[in-house]
Amino acid sequence: MGSRKTFTITFASPRENLQETPTTLPTSEPETPQVSYTVQSSDMPTLNPRPYSCKYIAVVYAAGKFVTAGTLYWRMKKNGSSVRTGSSSISANNYYTVNAFFFDVDVGDVLEIALWSDQTDSDWDYDAIFVYVTRFQPFNLHSPRKVILAQIRMYNENATYPTLTQGNPSKWISYYPFEWCNEKIDNYVGLWSITGDVSINFWSPSETRGLWCIKYHGDLSRQNDAIIRTDSTYRPKYWSNYIRMTTICRPLRVE
């Protein structure tokens, strides 16, 4: 049995950009996407100590306004390749926010969103990026014999992330931000409530999904996908949730 460790996560502040004067959206796809972020080390969450493995999700926001009712078209690109395209109906005088979830990102990845409209008086004036953790695997499960986890405790902080300086957050699937996973079904065995605190004596986590992973917010659902949210009074319209998880456990080698 190895030593018991407490794994904590600290998120970086979102990077945001608000234009003084909104930029008019083109009526055909722009050659160069308007929103472009190269993931920096300062965007990445700090994990202490480092777990054996985990993956990162980056949510990139792009927001603006439609004066005339119309259709917003968008494309997500990762390192120059298209990963998702789509459209959304926007009512007259409504703000829109593209919430684009890029799965499995790392420092140096270039994440882009292209926007265009079927109307000539639509604009874009805000963008941001925030990175968080999923598929948390605290220990190597084969070192070299099979390893399971013991004396596990998982709990999330009673605060939501991210917080942007603009707009208003709402809670995403407020009762189920996390799933915790086991090796048998390689799927969830439990859903995490708003703020939860679970203790388990022994656990054999999923090889692919780790001890826990994000449920809707860009991993098990919304992986490399975007959701367009609208509001008549503000942008960005985004989700904020209880995603800062502390994990305490020790490895147990199975002979």
Partner 1 sequence: MRLTIVLEFKRDLSGSEIAKLDAELRKRIPELVGWSYSSLTGELTLDFGDAEDLSLLRRVEEWVAKAEGRKRRFEIIGVEKEWEE
Q: How far is the CB of 2 from partner 1 (least distance, A)?
A: 38
Closer Cβ to partner 1, 205 or 218, answer by number: 218
Residue where the block lists tokens 């608000």: 18
Cβ proximity to partner 1: between 40 and 221 the closer is: 221
* Closest CB to partner 1 among residues 83, 133: 83
Contacts with 247 (C-beta within 8 Å, 6 or more apart), sequence order:
6, 7, 51, 136, 138, 152, 153, 154, 211, 212
How many residues in the chain? 255
Shortest spacing between CB 72 and partner 1, in angstroms: 8
| Spatial distance between the Cα atoms of 219 and 216, rounded to a whole number of angstroms | 6
Q: How far is the CB of 63 from partner 1 (least distance, A)?
A: 15
Q: How far is the CB of 227 from partner 1 (least distance, A)?
A: 8
Q: SS3 string of 208-241?
A: CCECEEECCCCCCCCCCEEEEEEECCCCCEEECE
User: How far is it, in rounded angstroms, from Cα 214 to Cα 45?
Assistant: 15
Nearer to partner 1 by Cβ, of 167 and 251: the residue is 167
* Angle ∠(244,172,217) on CA atoms, nearest 5: 65
To the nearest whole angstrom, how small is the minimum distance from the Cβ of residue 65 to partner 1?
17
- Residue closer to partner 1, measured from CB, 78 or 247: 78
Summarize as ranges the residues that interact with partner 1 (CB under 8 A). Answer: 28-29, 71, 73, 75, 82-89, 116, 118, 170-174, 216, 221, 224-228, 239
CB atoms within 10 A of CB 82: 11
Nearest by Cα to 35 from 100, 81, 121: 100
What's the min distance (Å) between Cβ of 75 and partner 1? 8
At its nearest, how many Å lie between partner 1 and the CB of residue 17? 24
Q: In the complex with partner 1, which residue's Cβ is closer, 40 or 85? A: 85
Which run of H or of E encompasses 127?
strand 122-137
When the beta carbons of 61 and 139 are compared against partner 1, the nearer one is 61
Helix, strand, or coil (residue 60): strand
- Whether omega before 169 lies within 30 degrees of 0, making that bond cis, reads no
